[in-house]
Structure 1
Amino acid sequence: MFKKKEVLLLILGIIFVSSTLRAPITSVGPVIDQIGSRLNLSSTLLGSLTTIPLLMFALISPSVAGVSAKFGMSKTLFCSTIVLLIGLLIRVIPNPLFLFLGTVLIGIGIAFGNVIFPSFIKWRFPSQMGVMTGIYTLMMTMFGGVGSGFSVPLSHVGHGGYQFALGFWVILCIFALIVWLPQLKTNPKIVVEKSDRKIYKSKLAVCVALMMGFQSMLFFCMATWIPSILMSYGFSKQTAGYFMMLSIFSQLPMNFIVPVIASKLKDQRILAYAYTLLFIIGFSLLFTQTFVLTIIAMIILGLASGSAFSLCMLTFSLRAKTTQDAIELSGFSQGLGYLVAATGPVLFGWLKDYTGHFESCIFAFLIVTVIFFVFSYISCKNRYIFD
C-alpha cells in the first residue's frame, strides 16, 4: 500500500512540475502588445521575450548533468522550480529591467526541468518510459495551450492587465513545489558520475541534438509567426489566437499516444515519416487562406507537433543505455538544439521583412520540415550514442 501511495505521489509530482514548463512562456505572446504599451518597449525588445528563454535553455542545459550529480535529480528539480517561481514574481514588476531579469530566471528554471525529466523517467519508470513520457509531454503541452488561450481573458480580470495574466502561473508553481516535497524524502539521491567520453564526438548525439533543434525551431516559429500570418490573411487577432489554441490542444492525444507506440518499436523511423507528412500537408494548406481549410491545417499541424515533440523527448532515453547517458544526451541535445531553435523566429522575421510577404515564411516552414526529417530519420534508428 505504501509503495502504491509513493508511486501515486510521484506521478502527481511529475504532473504538476511538468505543467509549469511551458505556460510561463506561451502566456507571453497573446499579451505582448499590452506589455509593449505599458513599458514602452520596441518590437525588437518584445521579440527577445521569446528568444531569451531559448538562449537560457541553450546555455544552462549542458551544465544540468553536473548539477544533478552534486545534488540529485529530485532536489535539483525542486530548486529549479523555486527559481522559476522567483522569476514569475519578478517578471510582473512593471519595469523593463525586472521584466527581462524575470524572463532570464524563468528560462533557467525551465531548462533544468526540460533536461532532467526524460532521464528521471528512464531511472524511475524503466519499463513504463512510453506511458510516463506521454504524461509528462501531455501536461507540458496542455498547460502551454491553456497559457496561450487564457492569457488575454486573464488580463481582463479586474485591473490586473498583463501582470495578472503572467503572474497567475505563480499559483501552479506553488502547487508543484508542495506536491514535489515528498520526493525529497522518499527518492534516493541519484548521482550521475563523470565520464571521460565526449558526447559531442558521437555523431548520433549530434543528430539527436539537431533533431531537437529543428523540432523546437518549428514549434517556436509557429508560436511566433503563425498568428501574424493568419492576421495578414484577414483573420482577427482573436480568431488567430483561437486557431493557435486549437493547434496546441490538437497535440494532446499525440503527446500521449506517440511515446507509448514508439517505446514498443525497435525502430521509430516510421513515426518520422508520419509526422513529416503531416507537417507538409498542414503548412501547404495555409496557402489556401480559407477558413475551413485553415482549421484543418491547424489541427494537422497540432498532430504533427505533438508527435514530433514527444518523440524527441523519448529519444533521449531510447538512444541511451543508462540514466547517466540519458541525462548527458538530454543536456547536450537541448543545449545545442535550443541554440539552433533561437535563430528561427529572428530569421523568419528577417525573411518576412526582406520579401514583404508571409508566404515566404510558409515556404521556410516546409524547408525546415525537410531538414528536421533528415535528422529525425538518422536519430530514430535503433542504436545507442556510445556504441
Structure 2
Amino acid sequence: MPDQTSAASRHLLPLSLTALTFVVVFGAAELRAPILSVAPLAHLIESELGIGAATVGLLTSIPVLCFALCSPLAIWVIRRGGADFAFTIAMTGIVVGTILRSLGGLPMLLVGTAVIGAFVTIGNIVIPTLIGREYRGRRAHTMTGVFTSSMTLGTFAVTIGTAPAAAAIGWQAALAMWLVFGAAALAVWLPLRGLRDAVTPRGTARAVTGDDHVPMVRRRTTWLLAAAFAGQSFSFYAATAWLPSIVGDLGYSDSVAGVIAAIFQIFGVIGSLLTPLVVSRASARVVLVVAGLFWLTVPLGFLLLPHGWVVWCVLGGLAQGAGITIIFVLMNGFGGTEHVLAERSGIVQGAGYAVAATGPLLLGALHQVSGAWALPELVLLVTVLMFAIAGLVSARLLKRGVEVETG
C-alpha cells in the first residue's frame, strides 16, 4: 500500500505523537460523554422541567439520528477544510453545544443537543481519519483501539459521575461539566498543530489516482463495511437498551441494571484494547470470528439459558468492544488519501447509525406485540450474523488487496 502520510505527519516527533495520542483520548471521550450524561439525570430533568419520559428520550435519540443525517455534512467539512480544521471545529462545536444545552429550559436543551449531535458526527469521522493519516501498521491498529476504548471510558465516566455532580452543583452544571474532555483535547491540539493550521480551512482538490476514480458509494467494500457497522451498532444499542429489562423480567432487582451497564462498559474497553494485539499476532479475521461467536452468546444465551446472564454480558461486552474496533481497523486498512478515508468513514457510519437508531425501538415494539423476549432476541441474532459475515468478507477482500470495488 502506498504511503499516504501527510506532509505534516512526516514531521511529527515522538513527543508530538504522544501529544496526538492525548488528543485522540480526550477527543474520543468527548464524542460520547455529553450525549450519555443525560441518562443518569432523566428523572430529575423530567421533574424539573415538567416534561415526559418520551421528551427526555429525545435527548439521547437526537444525536444518534444526527450521526446518520449529518454524515454528508461531515464529509463536506473535511473535504473543504481538511482534517485538522474539521477536528478543531468538531471539538469547539461540541463544547458550545454543551454550554447551550445548560443555559435554559427545554428549547435550549433541545437546540444544544442537536448542536452536539451535529458536531459529534464530524468528530466520529475525523478522528479515525486522523489516525489513518498519522499512524501506520501496528501503531494505527493500537490507536484505533485507544480511540474506541476512550469512547467507552467517556461513557463510564458520565455513568458514575453525573448523578453525584448534579446533587452537588445542579443538573445543568452537571451536564455542562462534560465539556472538559473537548476543552482538554483542544488545549493539547492547538499548540500541537499551531493556531493558524488548526483553525484555517485547508481543503485541497481531490487528487484522482488509480484508487480514487471509482466513487466511494460504488465500492463493494464500502457497503460491506456499512453492513458490518450496522449489524454491530444495531446489536450494541439494542442490547444496551433492553438487556436490563430482559434480566428484570427474570426476577432480578432493578439494581442489576447498573451491573449490566458496568459489565458492558468495562469489558468493552478490554475488548477494544485486545483487538489490535490479536490483529497484529493473528489477523482481522480471527478477531471477527471470536467477536461474532461472543456476540452470538447474547441472543442464544438469553434464549436457552437466561439465568447465565452474567456470562453472556461479559462475552457480549468483549464482543461489542472488539466489534467496533475491528470495523474501524478495516476502514483504515483499505487506505487512501485523507479525502478517501473521510468519505469511506462517513458513508459507513452514516448508513450504520441509520440502521442502529431503529434497534431499541424495534426490539421494544416486538416485545410489546409478542409479550416475550424470544422474537427480539432472534432479531438480535440476525444482526449479529450480519456484522460477522459482512466483516469477514471485508477482511478477506482486504487480505487480497482489493481496494477499489465497483459492486
- For 1:274, the equivalent position in structure 2 comes to 290
Change (3 A) 1:70 1:2: closer
Distance apart, 1:12 and its partner CA: 1.6
- Could you tell me whether the CA contact under 8 Å between 1:316 and 1:330 is conserved in 2? yes
Q: Distance in 2 between matches of 1:39 and 1:273?
A: 47
Matched, 1:48 2:58: yes
Q: How many aligned residue pairs are there?
A: 382
Q: Cα distance 1:380–1:356, how it changes in 2: closer, same or farther (>3 A)?
A: same
Q: State the partner residue of 1:227.
A: 244
Maintained 8 Å contact 1:205/1:333: yes
Alignment correspondent of 2:149: 138
- Equivalent residue in structure 2 for 1:253, among 270, 273, 278: 270
Aligned partners of 2:145 and 2:275 also within 8 Å: yes
Report the secondary structure of 1:230's partner residue: helix
In structure 1, distance between residues paired with 2:328 and 2:27 = 16
Partner letter of residue 285 of structure 1? Answer: G
Unaligned regions of 5+ residues in structure 1, if any?
none
2:317 corresponding residue in structure 1: 302
Distance in 2 separating the partners of 1:384 and 1:376: 14
Aligned to 2:3: none
| TM-score (norm: length of structure 2) | 0.86
Instruction: Output the amino acid matched with 1:253.
Output: I
**C-alpha distance after superposition, 1:208-255 (max 9, x if no partner):** 112112211112112222223233333333331122112111111221
CA distance in 1, matches of 2:145, 2:202: 23
Q: Which residue does 1:346 correspond to in 2?
A: 361
Q: Does 1:320 align with 2:320?
A: no
**By how many angstroms is 1:96 displaced?**
1.9
If the length of structure 1 is used for normalisation, what is the TM-score?
Answer: 0.90
8 Å contact 1:68–1:190 — kept in the other structure? Answer: no
Q: Structure 1 residue 241 and structure 2 residue 258: aligned?
A: yes
- Seen in structure 2, the aligned counterparts of structure 1 residues 235 and 78 have a Cα distance that, compared at 3 Å, is farther
Q: Does 1:147 align with 2:158?
A: yes
- Counterpart contact for 2:241–2:360, Cα < 8 Å: yes
Shift, 1:145, TM fit: 2.0
Letter in 1 for 2:245: S
Separation in 1, partners of 2:386, 2:216? 22
Note if contact 2:221-2:394 (Cα within 8 Å) is conserved in structure 1: yes
| 2:8 aligned residue | none
State yes or no: 1:129 paired with 2:140.
yes
Instruction: Output the CA distance in 1 between the equivalents of 2:52 and 2:372.
Output: 21
The 10-residue stretch of structure 1 (236-245 or 304-313) with the greater mean CA deviation from structure 2: 236-245
Tell me the secondary structure at the aligned position of residue 345 of structure 1. Answer: helix
User: Which portions of structure 1, spanning 4 or more consecutive aligned residues, are displaced by more than 6 angstroms?
Assistant: 186-190
Identity %: 25
**Does structure 2 retain, via aligned residues, the 8 Å contact 1:10–1:180?**
yes
Matches of 1:132 and 1:81 in 2, distance apart?
Answer: 19
2: CA distance between counterparts of 1:147 and 1:24? 8
Question: In the TM superposition, what is the alpha-carbon distance from 1:20 to its structure 2 partner?
Answer: 0.8
Which whole-Å CA distance do the structure 2 matches of 1:68 and 1:205 have between them? 18
Change (3 A) 1:202 1:346: same
| 1:95-106 superposed matches below 5 A | 95-106=105-116
CA contact (8 A) 1:193 1:324 kept: no
- 8 Å Cα contact 1:199-1:328 kept in structure 2: yes
Equivalent pair of 1:66/1:192 in contact (CA under 8 Å): no
1:332 pairs with 2:343: no
- Which residue is 2:194 aligned to? 185
What amino acid is the match of 1:334? Q
- 8 Å Cα contact 1:244/1:298 also seen in 2: no
